[in-house]
Structure 1
């Protein structure tokens, strides 16, 4: 192998290494984004404290008051339905 072929081979190795390295970095970036979004969904579904703090930080107060009033009405409705089922009284 002469010197010219050796330099050409070394340049080829460096070029392919750079391509592979950038492909790996892209894969790591995609996995990092997927991990971040997965954790956000996980915390939203599993932790009521996280949901409460998230709403306090990012939802305007007007919307929070509306959500609380709607939640109270829904809670009363659910309690009423449960009490009629347990007492055996049918409202229909």
Structure 2
């Protein structure tokens, strides 16, 4: 039985090839200090992987990276914590 990661495979309307998988692995390894979102945006730009309106397929790429990480094909950075919530300060006139 073929692996789900055996090229070519499709995600939506995008076909992924051996070269695409190599690019994903190389990008994740080379830019390991980037956040998950920054990695996904970099990949969307370099693959290229955009919606018809030209926007990056960010959500799809993040899902792909997480699935590849879960299957041991790449090691993506851990999720970064959210910045603490700081309510806006009200500026009052003296």
Give the TM-score normalised by the residue count of structure 2.
Answer: 0.24
Higher strand share: 2
Give the TM-score normalised by the residue count of structure 1.
Answer: 0.24
